[in-house]
Structure 1
C-alpha cells in the first residue's frame, strides 16, 4: 500500500485526481497547435511512473517510458508544412488525441503592457479585427500566472485557437501584426504564443538559476524558496529584509512606532484616499509614517486577549509595515491588497492602543487608502472598533533619497522568477522559431542593471528551449513623457541604449525601434501595426536568412574627434526628415551636456565642438520623448545612443 501511495503522489503533477484521467500530453499541446518546422519535434507529458507511452504524430510512431516522477518525452523527425496532423499518446487503459495540428513557425512573444496591448485597442481596430481570420495563423495565450516555483501546467483556457476576430481581439497586437506580416513572405503556418503581463519587471521573467548567476539576487531567491514552502515563513523573512533596508535609509525614524512617542506636532491627513490629495504631498514618493490611536473597552480587550481580533487597514500603496503598541504585526506589498493582520493575544489592552504604519510608495498614488469606515479592529463575534477618520503623519524619506525597497519576491510583475515559473516554464521545451520581447518601461529606473538582466534573460530562455542561437527580437522603447528644452538624464534613454548595445553584441538579436511612433501622453501607443512590421523585418533578416534586407535604421559605428568637430559614423546612409539638420545630438564634457547643431553627409554626422567644451561623449535622442528626424533610406529611425568619444 505504501508504494502505491508514493506512486500516486509522484504522478500528481499530471494526475490531479483519480476521478478522471488527466491528459497524457503536456498542456501546451492542444487542438490547432503549430509545431515548429525544420527541427526535431519534441513531445512530452506525464503518466504513471514506469508506464510505457506510445506516441503517434501523423503516420510516425515512437515509444517512451515515464520516469520516477511520471514524466516522459519523445522526439519525432523534422517536418515541413503540409496537411494537418493528429497527435496521439497512449498508455495501458488510457489515450489522448489532439487534431488539426500544423507544421510551421512558432514565435514566443512576451513582455509587459505594450506586448499585452490587445488587438481590439490598436489603430483602426474594427477593420483589423474584421480581417483577423486566417486558418494558418494559430494563437495561444498563457494567461497571467505567478508562482514561487516552476510549474508544468497552464490554465484550462490556455489553448491554441485558429485566428479569428474573436480569438484575436484580446491577443497581443504587436505579436499578431508581426505574425501577419510574416505570413505574407513565408507562406507557412504561423504559431504565436502571447505570454505577457502589464507592468512586469524583467527580473520576474528570468529563472531562479539565471538570477542566481547574476550574483545579487540570492537573498530574494532564498525568501522566495521559503515562501514556496511556507507563506508565513517567506513573509517573515522578507519583512526582516525590509526592516534592514529601513534601518539604513531612515535612521531618524527609530522609535516612531513607539506608543510613548509624542506625535502631537505631526501633521494630519484623512484616513482614506491617496496621500497625494493632501497639500505638500502631490508628487511625493517615498516613506511616510502614519499613526492613530484606537481605544478599546475592557470587554473588547478581553476578547482580543483570547486571540479573537484582526486589524483591518484597507489597501496600502505600495508597502506597509504595521505595528501595535510598538510591536510589529506584519508587512505586505501590493497597492490594492487590503491589509488584514490577526492580532496575537497580549498585544492589545483596554484604553488607548497605538497603531503605527510605515507606508512606502514607490510611484503613483500612495498611502493607506480606501473607506475609513472599514479600517479598525474586527472581532470574532462580529463587532467592530473603528480606527477613526484621521491619521497623524510624518515624512521620513523620499524615494529619491532612499532608493527602492526590497520587493516581495513572490508578487507577480514585481517579484523574482514568478512569471518565468508560471508562464514560461510550462511551455519549455516547445519548438520555436524565435522570441519577441517588448519590455523595459518597468525598469527605466535601473539601466545599469538592465544591461545585466537583458542578456541573462536571452541566455536563460535560449537554454530552456534548446536553441543557443535562437533569434531574439527586441522592441526598443517608444517615446513617452514630457519634452524638455535642455539636455537631461533619462532612464528611458538609458534602457534604449542597453537594448541597442545588446543587439549590437549578438548577431542573433534584432532591434525594432519604436522611438518615433509613441505618444508623449500615453505609455501605450496604439500604432502596433508599425511595431509588428518592424519586428517582421528583423525576423526575416535573422530567422529567414534575408541578409539583403535593411531591417533597422542607422546605428553608430564610431565617434571620433576630427579637428574642431566630433564625427559620428553610422552603419548606413541616412536622411533628415522634417528639417535641414538632424535633431537631438548632444556633446558632453565631464559635468554637463549641450545640444549642438549637427550636419549630415551620407553616413556621417558632424558635431561642432562649442567653445570651452572638452567633450568626452556624444549622445543622440537622449530623452524620454526625443524629437527624432534622422532616418535610414528605408524610412526606419536612427537608434538613440550614448558613446564615448575616441581620440583620432
Structure 2
C-alpha cells in the first residue's frame, strides 16, 4: 500500500454499473494520499467522509436503502473526483467454482453446450441484472485488487456470462423484481484446496506439510510440486493450495454481498473423504474473510458422469450433501441432470434455478420448493431397512431404484425398494440381515428418487466412515 502522494483510486468492484447490496451498510474502499479526506455520496442523499490512512488505504461504509436506481456514486478527494453512473441497489451474490460455474451461455462446442442456448441468449434482455467476471489470477500472497468490470445483461453480453450464474440471477430477478448483481469467480479444472487459504489446510489429512511445500514452490517455480503460472491455461489442472483464493477471492471479500453459490468438486473426485474436510474448511474461511459467520452458502452438487475407474465422485456428492449440516448451507441436487460422457452437462437452467430456490426460500421467505427428498435416518430389523426422509411429500421411485443394502460385512447387493407412507422399505433375498443401505452410489447413475415437486434426492449412504450415524442428514 502506498505511503506517499498518490491520486485517489477506487476498487475495480465499485465503478460504473455496479450493483450494491440494498438495505445495509456497504463497504467502499481504495487508495490515495495519506491524510487526505475522501467524500462518498450515493445519489442525492447518503454522504460519508473518511480519512486516508498512513498506509495510503481508505475504507468506509455507506448506508443503502431499498432496491432502486440508477444512481450516481460520487467519490472525491482533493486529487481527483469520480462520478460512477448506473449504480443499482439490489441483491449481490458471489458465484464461484470450476468449469461448470465458468461455462458460458454460448457453450464450448465439443466441450459442452447449453440447452436452448440461442433462444436463451436472445431473450437475455435484463438491464437490471449485472455481472462482474473476476479475471483469473493466482498468487502466493493475498492480493488487494481484482480485475474486471460490471456488465449489463443484454443478448450481446449474455453469451459470455456464466450460464449457471445467469440462470441463478434471472430466477432471483423474476421472483424478487429487484436488481441482481453477480460476481463470477471461476477457474476450470481446479481443485477445492486452491480456493481456500493455504494455512487453514494444515489440519486436513494430506496437507500437513502444505506451507513448507509452498515455500519450496516459490523457490522452484518451474519444477516444484506446485505452480501458479498456468492459471490461464484451462487445459492444465490447478491444485496449488490457496493460490486462487489469494488472487480471486480474498480481494473480493471487502465487498458487501448477500451470499455465495459454489459449483466445484469434479477435480476432487479422487478423494471425496478429503474433500469433505476441504469444503467445510472453505466455507468457514470464506465466512471469516467476508466477516459474516452466517453468510448463506449454496452448493451445486456435481452431476453423475463416467469418470475414470479410480474416481469416487459419489463421495464428493456425499460431501456436498453432508455440508448441509453446517448452518446456512444448502445443496442444490443435480443428480437428474448428468450426462454419461459429458462432464459439462447442458442443463444449466436447473443448476442456476435450484440454487436460486434455496436462496428464495431461505433468504427471501418465498414459498418455493427447494429440496428433493433428504435422507435423515434408518432402521434395520426383521430383514428389511426402513429409510426416512424430509421433503418427502409425494415421494416416488422411478426405474429400478438404484438402492443397495448390505450386512455387517459391507457386501452391498441390489435391493428391492418400495415407498410406504413417505418412507422407503428395502429388502433383498441375498441379504437376510441388512444393517446399512446406500442410494445412487456410482460415478455414473440416473436419478430415480424424487418428491412430488420432481426434485431429486442426493446420493447417500446410511453409514459414513468418520461420522456418527445420528448426524448423517
Residue in structure 2 matching 1:145, options 127, 137, 153: 137
State the shift of 1:530 in Å.
1.4
Q: Is the 8 A contact 1:574 1:630 kept in 2?
A: no
Mapped to 1, the partners of 2:42 and 2:145 lie a distance apart of: 22
TM-score, reference length from structure 1: 0.66
State the shift of 1:592 in Å.
1.9
Over 3 Å counting, the alpha-carbon distance change for 1:515 and 1:188 in structure 2 is same
Q: Deviations over 1:388-441 (max 9, x none)?
A: xxxxxxxxxxxxxxxxxxxxxxx9821011111111122122111110000000
Match for residue 312 of structure 2? 491
Matches within 5 A, 1:101-180: 101-121=87-107, 122-155=114-147, 158-180=148-170
Q: Is the 8 A contact 1:566 1:609 kept in 2?
A: no
Q: Give the secondary structure class of the aligned counterpart of 1:644.
A: coil
Q: Deviations over 1:451-510 (max 9, x none)?
A: 111111111111222221111110111111179xxxx9961110111111111x124111
State the shift of 1:38 in Å.
2.1
Paired residues, number:
457
Q: Determine if the alignment matches structure 1 residue 537 to structure 2 residue 357.
A: yes
Match for residue 48 of structure 1? 33
State the shift of 1:51 in Å.
2.4
Match for residue 576 of structure 1? 396
Q: Give the secondary structure class of the aligned counterpart of 1:54.
A: strand
Match for residue 210 of structure 1? 200
Q: Determine if the alignment matches structure 1 residue 561 to structure 2 residue 380.
A: yes
Residue in structure 1 matching 2:328, options 488, 498, 508: 508
Residue in structure 1 matching 2:189, options 199, 211, 215: 199
Over 3 Å counting, the alpha-carbon distance change for 1:60 and 1:116 in structure 2 is same
TM-score, reference length from structure 2: 0.89
Over 3 Å counting, the alpha-carbon distance change for 1:126 and 1:469 in structure 2 is same
After alignment, is 84-93 or 618-627 more displaced?
Answer: 84-93
State the shift of 1:189 in Å.
0.3
After alignment, is 210-219 or 135-144 more displaced?
Answer: 210-219
- In terms of Rg, which structure is larger? 1
Q: Give the secondary structure class of the aligned counterpart of 2:385.
A: strand
Over 3 Å counting, the alpha-carbon distance change for 1:589 and 1:595 in structure 2 is farther
State the shift of 1:214 in Å.
4.5
Q: Determine if the alignment matches structure 1 residue 597 to structure 2 residue 429.
A: no
Q: Is the 8 A contact 2:382 2:433 kept in 1?
A: no
Q: Give the secondary structure class of the aligned counterpart of 2:9.
A: coil
Task: Give the unaligned 5+ runs of structure 1.
Answer: 1-7, 16-20, 243-318, 320-330, 338-363, 365-410
Match for residue 67 of structure 1? 53
State the shift of 1:79 in Å.
1.4
Please provide the CA RMSD for this pair. 2.9
Matches within 5 A, 1:301-312: none
Q: Is the 8 A contact 1:429 1:465 kept in 2?
A: yes
Task: Give the unaligned 5+ runs of structure 2.
Answer: 108-113
